[in-house]
Amino acid sequence: MAAAEELPDELVFVDLETTGGNPAYDRITEVGLYRLNRGELVDEWSSLVNPECPIPPYIEAFTGISSEMVADAPRFVDLARLLRGKLAGAVFVAHNARFDYAFLRSEFLKAGMTFSAKVLCTVKLSRRLFPEFVRHNLDAVMERNGLTCSARHRALGDARVLHDFWFKLRRDVPQPQLADAVQKVLGAHQMPAHLRDLPDELPEGPGVYRFFGADDALLYIGRGASLRARVCRHFSAAEPADRLQSEVRRVDWLETAGELGAMLREAQWIKQQQPAYDRHAQRHAQSHTLRVRTAAGCPVETVAVTDLELEDLAQCFGLFHSTKDARKALGNIARARTLCLKVLGLEEAEGSCLAYQVGKCKGACVGKEPPVLHNTRLQLALASLKLKAWPFPGRVALRERAWRGTELHVVDRWAYLGTARTDDELAALTQPANLKFDADVYRILVRHLAKHPRLDWLDLRGGTVCT
C-alpha cells in the first residue's frame, strides 16, 4: 500500500514538435498531451501552434508539419493560459523531458507567464529500470515493449506512446520497484533546502553563473547553453558529490544573447574575479607560445603570451599551457621532421647532437645543413600551428541576437573589451584601450569563426554595418 502511494496520482504525458533544438531561439509548432488522474484518462488534447517564424525544410521533412499548416493556427501566447491549466498540478512526463520542459518554460516566459512542475523523464526511467539495454530512445522503447504509434513524430501520437509505456510498466514492473525508480528520477536534482526554489528561477537560455559560499565568498564561475540545466547539473544525483556542492549558499547569473557571449563573459570573469574553485585552472593559467626569431642564436624560443606585443603574433606558433608543454611539442615536431634538437635549444651536447649520430638529424649542429635551410624547414614544420591573423580591419562588434534582445561583443586583435546592449555602452567601448593578446579569447573566437564564417558585425572604425 505504501509503495502505491509513492506513485504520482496526477500525470500529464507531453510531447512537442518544434522548429529546432534550442529553446532560447526555436519555437513550438505542436503540443500534444494525455492527462491521468489515479490511472484514469481525464484529458486528451493537441493543437498546432503558429511559431511566428518559418519551419526549416529538414524539420518539415521530419515531422510533416509545414509553414502552411501552421499559418492559421493559434500562437503560443493565445494558448498559454489554457495549456497551463491543463498542465497544472500534475507530474510532467516526457521522453528526454529536459527538451520539452525547457521549450514550454521558454514559451511561457515569452508569453509573460511562469511555469514549473515536477518532471519525470521516461528516458531516465527506462535506463534505471532496464540498465541491460543500451538504447532508450522512443523507437527502441516501442520496439522492446511492443508499442505502436499511428502518428510518429507528431505530438499527440508520441504522447500516446508515453501513456502506453507507463501502463506497460504498471503491468510488468513490481510496484515497489517502479515507485522507487520514479522517486529517484523525480529527485534527480536534490537542491539544498536554501536553494530549493532555484530551478524555477533559473532561465532556460545561455549565460554565465556564479556560486557563492559562506560570507559571500566567490567559489565558482561557469557557463551553460541552458543556465537552468547547467546549474542544476551541479546538484544532480548523477554528479559525484564534492565540497563545492556542500559549500554553495547563493547563486547569481547573467543571461546572454547566445553562447559566444557566455564564453567571453566566463573567461573575463574568471580572470578578474579569481574564484576559489576553478576546475579549468590549467586552461586559464598563463599560456605560452613558440616564437621564431630572426636574430642569431637559437631560432625559436618559448615565451609567455603576456610578454608579447601584438606585432609579435605573426612569428608565433601554437598555444600551450606551460613552457614544458611548448618544449615537448617542439621536440616532437623536431624528431618527426629531422630537425636538430641542439640548434633548437632542446639538447645540450658537445659537438653533434645525439640524433645526428644515429642519422636522424641532417647536421645543422655540425654545419652540414646551412642555418637558412634548417630555419626554413622549421618554419614549414610549425606552419600548422601558426597563430591566425586578426581577420577584421580593426576593432569590431560581433552581433549576437536572441528573442530577448541583441548584444554587441566588442573585440580587437584577439582582446575582448566588453559587451554592449545600448548605444551608450557601445560608445564607451570604442574609446582607446591598452590591448593585450588574450589566449582564451583567441581560442574562443577562432572556434566561433570556424563555425560561423558569415558573421554579423559592426566596423567600429567608421560605424559601417558589415555581414
pLDDT tens by residue, 409-442: 999 999 999 999 998 999 999 888 888 889 999 9
Q: Specify the pLDDT at position 284.
A: 53
Strand partners for 405: 402
Q: What are the φ/ψ torsions at residue 459 (nearest 5 degrees)?
A: -80, 110
Distance, in Å, from the CA atom of 35 to the CA atom of 465, rounded to the nearest integer, reads 51
Distance, in Å, from the CA atom of 419 to the CA atom of 429, rounded to the nearest integer, reads 8
CATH classification of 195-284, choosing from 3.30.465.10, 3.40.50.10860, 3.40.50.720, 3.40.1440.10? Answer: 3.40.1440.10
Q: Specify the pLDDT at position 404.
A: 67
Query: Cell for 366?
Result: 655540425
Residue 411, CA distances (Å) to 162, 433, 445, 465 in order? 48, 11, 9, 15
Q: Specify the pLDDT at position 2.
A: 38
* CATH code of the region 2-188: 3.30.420.10
Helix, strand, coil shares, percent, the chain, to 5: 40, 20, 35
Domain with CATH 3.40.1440.10 in the chain: 195-284
Query: Cell for 65?
Result: 508539419
Q: Specify the pLDDT at position 281.
A: 56
Instruction: List CB contacts of 434: < 8 A, sequence separation 6 or more.
Output: none
Distance, in Å, from the CA atom of 22 to the CA atom of 16, rounded to the nearest integer, reads 13
Q: What are the φ/ψ torsions at residue 185 (nearest 5 degrees)?
A: -70, -40
Q: In what order do the strands lie in the sheet with 464-466?
A: 415-420, 405-412, 396-402, 457-459, 464-466
Distance, in Å, from the CA atom of 59 to the CA atom of 65, rounded to the nearest integer, reads 8
Query: Cell for 352?
Result: 653533434
Q: Specify the pLDDT at position 163.
A: 96
Residue 138, CA distances (Å) to 2, 133, 162, 260, 311 in order? 31, 13, 9, 33, 56
Can you give the pTM of this predicted structure?
0.71
What does the DSSP assignment read for 255-318? E-SSHHHHHHHHHHHHHHH--S--TTHHHHS--EEEEE--SSS-SEEEEEGGG--GGGGGGEEE
Kindly give the parts of the chain with pLDDT less than 70. 1-5, 188-190, 237-242, 279-285, 294-297, 403-404, 462-467
Domain with CATH 3.30.420.10 in the chain: 2-188
Up-side HSE of residue 443: CA atoms within 13 Å toward CB?
A: 11
Q: What are the φ/ψ torsions at residue 82 (nearest 5 degrees)?
A: -60, -45
